[in-house]
Copies of this chain bind each other. A is one copy, B any other.
Amino acid sequence: MSGSQTRGRRPAGSGTKEAIEAAARRRFAEVGYPRTTMRAIAADAGVDPRLITHFFGSKQELFVAVVELPFEPEPTFEALLADRGEGEVDVGARLAEFIVGMLDREETRTTVTGIIRAAASEEEAALQIRDMIAARMLTPLARHVGGDDPELRASLLASQVVGLTFVRHVVGIPALQDAGRERLVGFLGQVFNVYLQNSPTGA
């Protein structure tokens, strides 16, 4: 993993790294990034805390190593954003269906809210998490958004997804939690189409 392989004590067994990863995933999901400590993860995994440093380095390196994106960005965006300009496929609606579906499944929703909370923490460490998310999610999205100013369009689109997740699932506003799926997809699909295909002025 790093040059520290030769330092520190040897791992207790071949399952040690996996045990740390599993304990870290559980902790990050349950109490969030800021309140997760290396010591607690070590205790959960039944290992010496120095083993975590040995395998992963810092807490934010561990987070970046174990966080699972809710989907594989590259093939997902390619599939969702294909067939545009044909006038037959409502790409915004298709993307909205996908996003709302992802947020309706507990496992993927927890992943997304966990990443958002980690990025919102005031720790310096969070900077690296933000970079990771930007590189892994926004860069491939911009590539498939295309058109003029694809980075701006991709970032605005992502901002609506982040805001929806935040207000609906972190804050928990009832009007958004109780909204019918069809209604939600209807509004969001139109908004995604603004970012995907309208000119900045709407003209």
Cα distance A139–B133 when bound, in Å?
Answer: 33
Count of this chain's copies in the oligomeric assembly: 2
The interface centre, meaning the residue of A120, A122, A134, A149 with most chain B CB atoms within 10 A of its CB, is A120
* Interface check A179, CB cutoff 8 A: yes
Q: Report whether B159 and A167 are in contact in the complex, using a CB–CB cutoff of 8 Å.
A: yes
Query: Measured between C-beta atoms, what is the minimum distance from A162 to chain B in Å?
Result: 4
Q: Report whether B183 and A187 are in contact in the complex, using a CB–CB cutoff of 8 Å.
A: no
Q: Report whether A154 and B167 are in contact in the complex, using a CB–CB cutoff of 8 Å.
A: no
Cα distance A176–B166 when bound, in Å?
Answer: 19
Given contacts A156-B187, A175-B154, A194-B190, contact A166 B134 (CB under 8 A): no
Kindly report which residue of chain B lies nearest to residue A163, judged by CB atoms.
B163
Q: Which residues of A contact B (CB under 8 A)?
A: 31-32, 34-35, 116-117, 119-122, 130, 133-134, 138, 142, 149, 151-156, 158-164, 166-168, 170-176, 179, 182-184, 186-191, 194-195, 198-202
A-B contact pairs, 22 of them (CB 8 A): A31-B122, A34-B121, A119-B166, A120-B121, A120-B170, A130-B171, A133-B171, A134-B171, A138-B173, A152-B175, A153-B187, A155-B168, A155-B176, A156-B164, A156-B176, A162-B163, A162-B166, A183-B200, A186-B201, A187-B198, A190-B198, A191-B194
